[in-house]
Structure 1
C-alpha cells in the first residue's frame, strides 16, 4: 500500500513540475490493467473519466464495440 502512495506522490510532483515548466496540465491516470489492455486504456477520452451519469466504465466488461471504438482513436 505504501508503494502505491509513493508512486502517486511522484506522479503528482511530476504533473506539477510539467505544469510549472510548460504551462500545460497533464492529468494523472491511475489504473490497474493487464498489459494487453493498457494501450486501449491510454486511448480512453478524459470525458469518460468525468462522466457522472450511468454506470462507471470501470465497472463494465469490455464489449467488442468498446475495443473497436478505443482502438480506432
Structure 2
C-alpha cells in the first residue's frame, strides 16, 4: 500500500495511506472553510494539497495550519462519519478514532507539517549561497522510496501546471 507524507527541506514525514491524508484535507475544507469562510484557505487546500508551498508562503501557511489545529481541538472525533470497514484495520488507516478530538486524531499531521516547514527554512538559510542549490519546498508526496524518488525529481513547473488530482493521488 502506498504511503503519503509531508516533505520539506531534508525531512520526509510519513503520515499514512492516501485515504487518511485525503480525510485530513476533507476535514480541513469542511470545518475550516465553514468556520472562517472569509479567509482564503487556498494555501492549504490547493498549494499544499495539490502543488507545493513556496518559501514566501511558509509563514502564512503555518499560521493557517495552527488555526486548523485549534479549530480541530474543539471538534469531537464524532464530527467524522467513520466508515466501519476501516476502523481498527491498520492496513487501511493509521488514524485512531478513539481519540477525543480531531486535533488528537490528526496530531501527527500538525507536528510533521511544522517539522517539514522548519527543515525547508533551515536548508534554505544554510545552503542558499551554494552554487546549484534551490529551495526544497514543502509538499505532500508519496513517501515510499520509488514514488518519492520519482516525485522529488519532478520539476516544480509540472506542479505549477497541474490540474486535477495531485501527483500523490495519481
TM-score of the two chains, using structure 2 as the length reference: 0.28
State whether structure 2 residue 124 is matched by structure 1 residue 38.
no
More helix by share: 1
State whether structure 2 residue 115 is matched by structure 1 residue 5.
no
CA offsets 1:27-64 (integer angstroms, 9 cap, x no match): 12212455443322223221111116xx33527x86xx
State whether structure 2 residue 29 is matched by structure 1 residue 29.
no
- Matches of 2:165 and 2:154, distance apart in 1: 10
Structure 1, unmatched stretches of 5+, are 63-73
- Matches of 1:44 and 1:57, distance apart in 2: 16
Please tell me the root mean square deviation across aligned C-alpha atoms, in Å: 2.7
Structure with bigger gyration radius: 2
More strand by share: 2
